[in-house]
Structure 1
Amino acid sequence: MITEEKLPLEFRKNIKELLEDEYSDYIKSFEQSMYKGIRINTNKIKLTDWQEINPFKNLELVPWCEEGQYYQDVRPAKHPYYFAGLYYIQEPSAMAAISFLPINKDDFVLDLCAAPGGKSTQVSTKIGADGILVVNDISFSRARTLEKNIEAFGVKNAMIVSEDPKKLATIWESYFDKIIIDAPCSGEGMFRKDENAIKSWENFDIKYFNKLQAEILESAAKMLKVDGMILYSTCTFSLLENENIIANFLNKHDNFESVPLTAKNGLSNGFDGTSIRLWPHKIKGEGHFICLLKKKYGNNLNKLNSKLYKQLKDYKFVSLFFKENTNMNLNEYVIEKNNKLYLISKNMPEHEKIRTLRSGLYLGDIKQNSFIPSHALCMAYNKDFFKYTINFKSTDIEVIKYLKGETLLENVSNGYYVICVDGFPLGWVKALDNKLKNKYPPNLRMG
């Protein structure tokens, strides 16, 4: 357990000035256990249906997130439903920010500092077929983790990139309706959750993060449409990184305003009267800051969308696979890169000069005269989309064997099948002589 003496002296001085009489309550919060949560994937299952199949006991609702639930004394990452993408494991207070961002079904949304993907996956349940989600992380290794989580959640209309926000701002000016900045910060709100956050705080000066945050805000401002909104959040308490940086930004940009947010469900108003703060001594969660900015006026430039030339039906062997195995519309537009095929929305932005991990939904690989379907394809659609499936109950031993990469035996015709758990797709197998060759990705297998 972290005691008051383990907290850096300068931090204690700063937090005392912020909290005044509440300082002792904050220190007592370190005696409490860390709160853990899952967020239900409503793209795959309705909340009412989840309650019917929920395998965990004593789940408690997270008050600021309709899809969020606290858990204790269970291991949700070991249940087959996790591998089916029915929920995302997330610290409960991290679920709060997106609840303050009004998202329309046809919005173009950019998550600028997106890894590991908590806010991106949350947004994905709110946009529709005509909306797009572009997720970015400047770190390529972190973007790989982001890619894995986007895939597991079954997100179809997402582009995954890894670039400096400054470069993106030169290409996607005035493009997005909503931009999310989960800003790199000093991490003071995570001290109770992770003792390493204290060591990081001691190694990095707050001014280092302050400079990064200001630069990211400037880039986001350029990429936002008129009447669009920037959601700015951190997991720290520092005024410099929160209310002060927002005040400095607004002083430089008279075409922006801070949108007043209403504090409820145990959340608190920020020191500027418009933002939101989450204090660990007042809620069941860690420390966060949330602010919403709106662009009042400016110039909306013409959009540069991706150039779409080919459809699924233009690929003979690919279209044959989809016709035989799925109910896919063969008129869907696709992009081929390095023999990998992506389903792409007509609204995806132009990205030829951007380091891109995925241009849309990764469908699979083209190899000579054949098509190898991807795991992402399996995760993106429901059971009825696929013509050949094999369904097991979550309690069946075959599910665990499959998730561990073992070969299964089943009396079926040769060809591709989707393994499902209680009707939710898990991954591919290829049947040959009643043996099901396991196609579950080795890096995702259950340990």
Structure 2
Amino acid sequence: MKLPADFLKRMKELMNEKEHEEFVLSFDMPRYYGLRVNTLKIDVEQFLHISPFRLERVPWSRDGFYYDEGENPGKHPYYHAGLYYIQEPSAMFPAEVLDARPGECVLDLCAAPGGKTVQIAAGMKGEGLLVANDSNPGRIKALVKNIELCGVRNAIVTNETPGRLAARLPGYFDKILVDAPCSGEGMFRKDESAIRSWERYKNKDFSIVQEEILEAAGKMLKPGGRIVYSTCTFSPDENEAVISSFLGRYEDYELIDIPLPEGAERGRPGWAGGAGKAVKDERMKKCVRFWPHKARGEGHFIALLRKKEPGDGLEKDGETAPGFALNLGRKQGNYHASAGKTKEDFLEAFNEFAGENLDMEIRGYLLLTWDNLYWLPVELPDLDGVKVARLGWHLGRFKKSSPGRTSKTGNVDNMLKHMFEPSHAMVMALKKENLKRVMDFPAGSVEIIKYLKGETLLVEGEKGFIGVCVDGRTVGWAKQTGKEMKNLYPPAWRFIPSGKDVFNKFNEN
């Protein structure tokens, strides 16, 4: 692999001759491939029992596994069911260090495309509040898709700058992940386009942006809370120097020692001033670095910060709300109900759908934005003025039916009635036992491949919405209309086989 000359020169100045030689040679070695089991959809042991892949555990991840380069897990029906997320192995460690728990209030500040977000969500088990933010509008679509694919219920997606978010939610979060935008040197071996990007932006000082993001995160953290700062670059200026500078400016923060995972190394105290600067900070030994010539993964840096003075007596966030509420009474940012309709109209339509199709009790908050219905396990924070892309678990939308139906009194009702249409995100977060009507296909069946390709299935059954499953895990909706099932799998998500070999491989498992 041809590496940038300026990059090689800088790393040679930072390393001794032997280490530099090993480091450079590692870029010509095969990269590692990983997937993380999505425990929101399936337990690890259950997945290992049905997995068609040869897997080996990633030592620093509870749910992570290496798979062979020749495998193609992104083309398997289990991927479309959200049973796992394809993720570079070293990228699994920051969320492990954050260790999000059920009931906490957690922020993923630079979240797109969402791999670490869904890992955080798995730790929270649907309880508490997860805010997934990214300031880049072009990356929000991928973030939302991955959240929906993995069946995450308790996440709000925002599209704000860290500074604006900090102004709205000061001291709000128990834990924050800052997976900061960086020069991306740690991804050179994984993706050669990262080299071209580095050449293009090599004169950009990423550390300025990183320090601003970390400062904003600090403002949003509760006393006693924790921040994980991570990058996928080797540059001291973007790692040890950023952390040392932050600790120098904010005395109410301390660095927490991270247990060293297999193959990783400690942060380097002599790099605390950045490349070429003789500044030493022994606290940097508490950080962790992944090197491609040391660990079975790519390049990463991770630091764990704690805000001192735990807040005794602070009001606890993240408690599950009792009962059932359609929260339309208060203004939430730019969210409004349709004109001329009361909350009872929408609640009636949703309850009608739920009674006919669901076998579960819904407890929490229902929130309406225009004609879209969302759910959260906790009350929505004040997001007035914040750009929100997804207001929790998207249950579906209300559509107006045709006028002219006969009312209970026998008169023709010319008023439009709202009918509830469930979303793909809704079914992806449901279990098979939550649905009254289910069509369950094996992973190697012709039917599941046809369904994922968007084809109509000729299957008789009771009319209504049907949850389509693959080996007992939900993958989408269909609507039974008689002797056929109307395929409701989203067109943008449809499975496109790369050839006959892919389909044959499914049937071999």
- Does TM-score exceed 0.5, indicating one fold? yes
Greater Cα shift, 355-364 or 202-211: 202-211
Q: Which residue of 2 aligns with 1:223?
A: 220
Tell me, yes or no, if structure 1 residue 290 matches structure 2 residue 302: yes
Task: Specify which of 41, 59, 68 is matched with residue 63 of structure 1.
Answer: 59
CA distance in 2, matches of 1:312, 1:44: 33
Q: Which residue of 1 aligns with 2:356?
A: 324
- Opposite residue 422 of structure 1, the aligned amino acid is D
Offset from partner CA, 1:216-240 (integer Å, 9 cap, x none): 0110010000000110000001111
Q: Using the TM superposition, give the Cα deviation of residue 302 of structure 1 relative to its aligned residue in structure 2, in angstroms.
A: 7.3
Q: Which residue of 2 aligns with 1:244?
A: 241
- Opposite residue 199 of structure 1, the aligned amino acid is R
SS at match of 2:238: coil
- Give the paired residue count: 442
SS at match of 2:297: coil
Greater Cα shift, 62-71 or 171-180: 62-71
Q: For the Cα contact (< 8 Å) 1:312–1:331, is it kept in 2?
A: no
Q: Which residue of 2 aligns with 1:426?
A: 475
Greater Cα shift, 22-31 or 243-252: 22-31
Against the structure 1 CA distance between its residues 340 and 90, is the aligned structure 2 distance closer, same or farther, given a 3 Å change threshold?
A: same
- After superposition, residues 125-136 of structure 1 pair within 5 angstroms as 125-136=122-133
Q: Using the TM superposition, give the Cα deviation of residue 104 of structure 1 relative to its aligned residue in structure 2, in angstroms.
A: 2.5
Offset from partner CA, 1:33-70 (integer Å, 9 cap, x none): 121111001111111111110111x2111111121111
- After superposition, residues 382-397 of structure 1 pair within 5 angstroms as 382-397=431-446
Greater Cα shift, 95-104 or 269-278: 95-104
CA distance in 1, matches of 2:288, 2:344: 46
Offset from partner CA, 1:390-422 (integer Å, 9 cap, x none): 111111100000000000011202111011111
Q: Which residue of 2 aligns with 1:39?
A: 36
Q: Using the TM superposition, give the Cα deviation of residue 303 of structure 1 relative to its aligned residue in structure 2, in angstroms.
A: 9.0
- Please provide the CA RMSD for this pair: 2.0
Q: Which residue of 1 aligns with 2:179?
A: 182
CA distance in 2, matches of 1:257, 1:308: 42
Offset from partner CA, 1:242-262 (integer Å, 9 cap, x none): 001100001000000111112
Against the structure 1 CA distance between its residues 206 and 289, is the aligned structure 2 distance closer, same or farther, given a 3 Å change threshold?
A: farther
Q: Using the TM superposition, give the Cα deviation of residue 12 of structure 1 relative to its aligned residue in structure 2, in angstroms.
A: 1.2
CA distance in 2, matches of 1:413, 1:391: 15
CA distance in 2, matches of 1:312, 1:39: 42
Q: Using the TM superposition, give the Cα deviation of residue 202 of structure 1 relative to its aligned residue in structure 2, in angstroms.
A: 1.9
Task: Specify which of 299, 309, 327 is matched with residue 309 of structure 1.
Answer: 327
Against the structure 1 CA distance between its residues 216 and 389, is the aligned structure 2 distance closer, same or farther, given a 3 Å change threshold?
A: same
CA distance in 2, matches of 1:132, 1:145: 20
CA distance in 2, matches of 1:213, 1:308: 40
Tell me, yes or no, if structure 1 residue 104 matches structure 2 residue 136: no
Tell me, yes or no, if structure 1 residue 88 matches structure 2 residue 88: no
SS at match of 2:205: helix
- Opposite residue 164 of structure 2, the aligned amino acid is K
Q: For the Cα contact (< 8 Å) 1:174–1:299, is it kept in 2?
A: no
Q: For the Cα contact (< 8 Å) 1:312–1:333, is it kept in 2?
A: no
- Opposite residue 390 of structure 2, the aligned amino acid is R
CA distance in 1, matches of 2:61, 2:355: 40
Q: Using the TM superposition, give the Cα deviation of residue 327 of structure 1 relative to its aligned residue in structure 2, in angstroms.
A: 2.3
CA distance in 1, matches of 2:209, 2:188: 21
SS at match of 1:49: helix
Q: Which residue of 2 aligns with 1:149?
A: 146
Tell me, yes or no, if structure 1 residue 200 matches structure 2 residue 197: yes
SS at match of 1:336: strand
Larger-gyration structure (1/2): 2
Q: For the Cα contact (< 8 Å) 1:110–1:178, is it kept in 2?
A: yes
Tell me, yes or no, if structure 1 residue 7 matches structure 2 residue 39: no
Q: Which residue of 2 aligns with 1:438?
A: 487
CA distance in 1, matches of 2:99, 2:429: 24
Tell me, yes or no, if structure 1 residue 365 matches structure 2 residue 397: yes
Q: Which residue of 1 aligns with 2:500?
A: none
Greater Cα shift, 41-50 or 11-20: 11-20
- Opposite residue 61 of structure 2, the aligned amino acid is C
Against the structure 1 CA distance between its residues 303 and 144, is the aligned structure 2 distance closer, same or farther, given a 3 Å change threshold?
A: farther
Instruction: Output the TM-score relative to the length of structure 1.
Output: 0.95
Against the structure 1 CA distance between its residues 332 and 107, is the aligned structure 2 distance closer, same or farther, given a 3 Å change threshold?
A: closer
Offset from partner CA, 1:255-312 (integer Å, 9 cap, x none): 0011111213111111121100000001111000000000003889879999973589
Which runs of no fewer than 5 residues in structure 1 stay unpaired?
A: none
CA distance in 2, matches of 1:319, 1:65: 41
CA distance in 2, matches of 1:356, 1:29: 42
Against the structure 1 CA distance between its residues 312 and 98, is the aligned structure 2 distance closer, same or farther, given a 3 Å change threshold?
A: farther
Offset from partner CA, 1:309-366 (integer Å, 9 cap, x none): 3589961111110111002425542111120000123243222311111111000010
Against the structure 1 CA distance between its residues 206 and 104, is the aligned structure 2 distance closer, same or farther, given a 3 Å change threshold?
A: farther
- Opposite residue 238 of structure 1, the aligned amino acid is S
Instruction: Output the TM-score relative to the length of structure 2.
Output: 0.83
Greater Cα shift, 400-409 or 60-69: 60-69
CA distance in 1, matches of 2:21, 2:345: 66
SS at match of 1:181: strand
Task: Specify which of 423, 428, 442 is matched with residue 379 of structure 1.
Answer: 428
- Structure 1 runs, 4 residues or longer, greater than 3 Å off: 297-308, 310-314
Q: For the Cα contact (< 8 Å) 1:186–1:201, is it kept in 2?
A: yes
CA distance in 2, matches of 1:111, 1:391: 35
Q: Which residue of 2 aligns with 1:257?
A: 254
Tell me, yes or no, if structure 1 residue 158 matches structure 2 residue 190: no
Offset from partner CA, 1:412-437 (integer Å, 9 cap, x none): 02111011111111111111121100
Q: Using the TM superposition, give the Cα deviation of residue 172 of structure 1 relative to its aligned residue in structure 2, in angstroms.
A: 0.2
- Opposite residue 295 of structure 2, the aligned amino acid is I
Q: Which residue of 1 aligns with 2:334?
A: none
